[in-house]
Amino acid sequence: MKRLLLIVSLAAMLAACGGNEEKKNAPSTTAGETCVTESATVCGINETGLEAVLMCIKTANGNLWSESDVCYKSEYCNEDSKCVVDCDSAWLCEGKECGDDGCGGSCGGCPVGANCLAGACVEYVCDPMCDGLACGPDGCGGECGDCAGDTVCRWPDFACFAKPQGCVPNCEDKACGPNGCGGSCGGCAEGTFCQAATLTCDSPCVPSCSGKECGDDGCGGSCGGCAGESEFCISGQCGPCDPVLNVGCPDGSYCTYINGDGPQCDVAGTQKYGEACGGTDSCMEGVCIELSSSELGAVCYQLCGVNSDCGEGKQCISLQDSAYMICGAGAGQLQKCNLLTQDCDLDTDGCYFETGAGEPVCLTAGPGQEGATCSGQPNDCAEGLTCLSNKGANWVCRKFCNTAKGKEPSCDAESDTPKCTNYFAKQAAGYCTAE
C-alpha cells in the first residue's frame, strides 16, 4: 500500500506540474489568423514565435487571434488555455540563485549571512526594532532613544518614567539593557546584541543553508523543497523515505540506515523496539545498532529528530559520527544545568548542550582539554568545554564564556581564542573563538 500511495502521489504531482501528454502537442494557431467566437481563448504562437494564450478579438479586419498572455520558458499553455509551470522544464530556475522552483524543489540555498529574497541571495542586514519604544536596545547594537532629565528607562515596556526614590537596580537574569534606575545591566560582546524581549546578549538570526538542499534555514525561512523520487527532507538533504515517520517504502520494507548510510528502504523483520536484533533486516522499523555504552548488544532503536518523536520518558539522543539520532534514556533522568556555572551534582559530570534534549544537561565529562580535537559529541571535552566545529573546520574543544561584557567566565585576551561568540542565549553562554 505504501508503494501504491507513493506512485499515486508522484502521478498526481506530475499531472499538476505538466508532466503529461497534453504539453507534447505544440499549438498550431498563430496570432493574426481569423477566428469565429469573440473572447474565446486558445493556445497558440504570438507574433514573435513564443508560446502564448491567444484571444479572439474583434478588429477592423474582422475577428482575429491576438496575444492575451505569453508563457515563460518554464511554462506551457494547457488545455484550459492558461500558462502553467512545466515541472520538467530545464528553465525552472532561470534567473534564480535560491528559493523555491515552483514545483516543490529548490533553486539552491544561500550561504551563511544571506537571505533569499525574490530568488536572489541578499546580504543579511539587521533591522532595528523600535516601534513604540522610547528607549532601550534596538536589537542591533544601538538604542531606541534616551530618557531626558530625571526620567529613566523602564523594562519591559521601554517607556521613560520618573526615577522612584530609593530605586533599587534590577539585573536578575539580565545580561544587558536598563536596570530600571538609570543604569545598565551590562554590555554585549562583539558580534552579539542586546535583545529587548529578554535583555540577553544574542546574535541576530542569520539564515543558514550551507550544505542544505531543503528544510528550515534557522530563521523561519526555507532552504528549498524536495520532489520526485527524493521527496522527503531529512536533516537538510532530500531522500527517498522518512526514517522517523517510516513512510515512503513499499509494503514489507521500512526506512532505515544501513551501515550508517541512508535513509534507504530495507526488508522489514519481526523485532520490535528494545528487542535484540542481528542485522538491519531483523527490525520492524527503526535501526539495529549496538551502543558501546550499553551491555544489551545489538538492539532495535526508534529513530527520531526531536524529543517529541520519542514519547514520554525518553529523549532523542545524537550518536558519535552518525547521521541519525535515536530514542534513548528519559530526559527526566538527566539533570538540567547552567553552562556557565557548571552546577552539576556529580563531580564526574559537566554541563553540556545536548541537541536531543534541547537544553543543557549533565553528562559524564570527557578528557578533552581546550583546543584538543574531538569527535562531535559535546561531552568528549572536559567540564566547562564543549565540542564544536567552526564553519566546517575540524571538531575542537571550546571553552564556554559569558557573552555579557565584563562577566565571568571570559575568554583570555592573550590567547588564540579571545572572542566570545554566542552559543546559548538563554543563559548568556558563548564559546571562545579566534573569529
100 confidence band (pLDDT: 50, 70, 90):
confident
**Quick one: pLDDT at residue 392?**
47
Tell me the C-alpha distance between 66 and 54, whole Å. 5
Residue 171 — φ and ψ, nearest 5°? -125, 20
Q: Mean pLDDT for the chain?
A: 80
Q: Is the dihedral of CA 371, 377, 382, 388 positive or negative?
A: positive
Per-residue pLDDT for 5 more than 60?
no
d(CA 6, CA 290): 32
- Intra-chain end-to-end CA distance of the chain, in Å: 53
Residues 435 and 433: their CA atoms lie apart, in Å, by 6
Please check the confidence at residue 362 and state whether its pLDDT lies above 80. Answer: yes
User: Quick one: cell of 338?
Assistant: 547552567
Residue-level pLDDT at 15: 37
Do residues 315 and 234 lie in contact, with contact meaning Cβ atoms separated by under 8 Å?
Answer: no
The x, y and z cell numbers of residue 77, run together, are: 499553455
Task: Tell me how far apart the alpha carbons of residues 344 and 385 are, in angstroms, rounded to a whole number.
Answer: 14
pLDDT at 340: 94
Of the pLDDT bands very low, low, confident and very high (cuts 50, 70, 90), residue 187 is confident
Residue 318 CB neighbours (<10 A): 17
Residue 294: per-residue pLDDT: 60
Question: What is the arithmetic mean of pLDDT over 409-426?
Answer: 86
| 10, pLDDT greater than 50 | no
Does residue 356 register a pLDDT over 70?
A: no
Task: Answer yes or no: pTM beyond 0.85.
Answer: no
Distance CA 399, CA 415 (A): 12
User: What distance in Å separates the CA atoms of residue 433 and residue 389, rounded to the nearest whole number?
Assistant: 11
Going by pLDDT thresholds of 50, 70 and 90, the confidence category of residue 207 is: low
Tens digits of residue pLDDT in 260-316: 787 889 899 999 888 888 876 789 999 988 776 566 678 888 998 776 788 766 777
pLDDT tens, position by position, 328-346: 754 445 788 999 999 998 8
The pLDDT, as a whole number, for residue 218 is 65
**Model confidence band, residue 203 (pLDDT cutoffs 50, 70, 90):** low
Name residue, grid cell 550561504.
111
User: Does residue 96 surpass a pLDDT of 60?
Assistant: yes
Average pLDDT value for residue range 24-37: 83
With bands split at pLDDT 50, 70 and 90, how would you rate the model's confidence at 4?
very low
- CA-CA distance, 428 to 47, in Å (whole number)? 65
DSSP annotation of 11 reads H
Mean pLDDT, range 406-426, rounded to an integer = 86
How sure is the predictor about 6, in pLDDT bands with cuts at 50, 70 and 90? Answer: very low
Flag the least confident range among 126-135, 254-263, 314-323: 314-323
In this predicted structure, the answer to whether residue 16 has a pLDDT above a threshold of 60 is no
Lowest mean pLDDT among 11-15, 300-304, 426-430: 11-15
